[in-house]
Structure 1
Amino acid sequence: MSKQSRIQAVARAVQELQDATDLIDELAARRLGLNRTDLRCLSRLTARGPLTASELAAAAGLTGGAATTAIDRLERAGLAERARDTADRRRVLVRLTERGRGAVQEVWGPIADDARAELLQFSVTELELIETFLGRALRNQARHADRLRGETEGARPRPPAPG
């Protein structure tokens, strides 16, 4: 197989993985009674642990107001809570509740277990290569999210032409 053919095959596999991940996220959101923004916040709290509202907003790519609304919904669902930071009582952290941790484990635990089993099949050198690729792919996605965000925020409706 030529290098170009291999690149196309990898690109196809990445697209299919993204679509499969999107489907899992959609099904998980429905199962948990959340919208996709709330699910993204739940994901960030799972990955990073307790965060301030502003840290969560930045991690999830949201405005402060949108993050506050999402946090309110996660609290109403019993999946997250606001709590004073024990190290600095002035700070309020958003953290998963026991119910939230259980929901995350129920939905994504089996997926993570299967992924770990698959990764165990690779050598350390292969894992380093996979990690390098994923890091570059993530930077590429972040760069293009910034590009699209800027284009969306920069787009203003034009007034109608005179006449």
Structure 2
Amino acid sequence: MSKEKEIHALTRAVQELQDATDLIDELAARRLGINRTDLRCLSRLSARGALTAGELATTAGLTGGATTTVIDRLERAGLAQRVRDHSDRRRVLVRLTERAERLTMEIWGPILNDAQTELRQFSVAELELIVKFLSCALDNQRRHASRLRGDPG
């Protein structure tokens, strides 16, 4: 197969993966009884641990006011809580509740386990190449998210 055909096949596979991921996210949000913005923030907290509201806003691409609203909804749903930072009592952190951790493991745990099993079939060199590709793809997505937001630069 030619290089251009391989590039086309790969970009198509990535799009299919994004669509499948989008469907999982939609189904997960429904199961958790939250909207997609709330799910995005829940994902950031799951991946990064406790964050300040400002940090959560930045990582989720939200305004401060929108983030406060999301945190309030996540608290009402029993999925997040505001807690004082042990090292700086003036700071308030947002973290997942035990319920959220249990539910996210019920939803994404089997997906993660299957993915890790599938990845074990690759050599270290192949895994390094996949990581390199995903890093480039992530940089590309971030650049274009910035472009679509109208950020200067």
Output the TM-score relative to the length of structure 2. Answer: 0.97
Consecutive unaligned residues in structure 2, runs of 5 or more:
none
Matches of 1:92 and 1:112, distance apart in 2: 30
State the partner residue of 1:9.
Answer: 9
Cα-to-partner distance string for 1:27-73 (whole Å, 9 max, x where unaligned): 00011001000000000000000000000000001011111100000
Matches of 1:61 and 1:103, distance apart in 2: 24
Verify: 1:36 aligned to 2:36, yes or no. yes
State the partner residue of 1:69.
Answer: 69
Matches of 1:135 and 1:86, distance apart in 2: 34
Matches of 1:149 and 1:114, distance apart in 2: 35
Supply the AA of the counterpart residue of 1:44.
R
Deviation at 1:116, TM superposition (A): 0.6
Give matches, 1:1-163, under 5 Å: 1-150=1-150
- What percent of counterpart residues are identical? 74
Deviation at 1:21, TM superposition (A): 0.2
SS in 2 for 1:95: strand
Supply the AA of the counterpart residue of 2:100.
G
Matches of 2:76 and 2:70, distance apart in 1: 10
User: Greater Rg, structure 1 or structure 2?
Assistant: 1
Deviation at 1:100, TM superposition (A): 0.6
CA RMSD of aligned residues (A): 0.7
Supply the AA of the counterpart residue of 1:20.
A
SS in 1 for 2:95: strand
Deviation at 1:3, TM superposition (A): 0.3
Matches of 2:140 and 2:60, distance apart in 1: 17
Matches of 1:6 and 1:60, distance apart in 2: 33
Supply the AA of the counterpart residue of 1:92.
V
Deviation at 1:140, TM superposition (A): 0.3
Supply the AA of the counterpart residue of 2:148.
L
Cα-to-partner distance string for 1:105-155 (whole Å, 9 max, x where unaligned): 01101000001101111111000000000000000000000001118xxxx
Matches of 1:12 and 1:65, distance apart in 2: 37
Consecutive unaligned residues in structure 1, runs of 5 or more:
152-163
Task: Show structure 1 runs of 4+ deviating over 4 A.
Answer: none
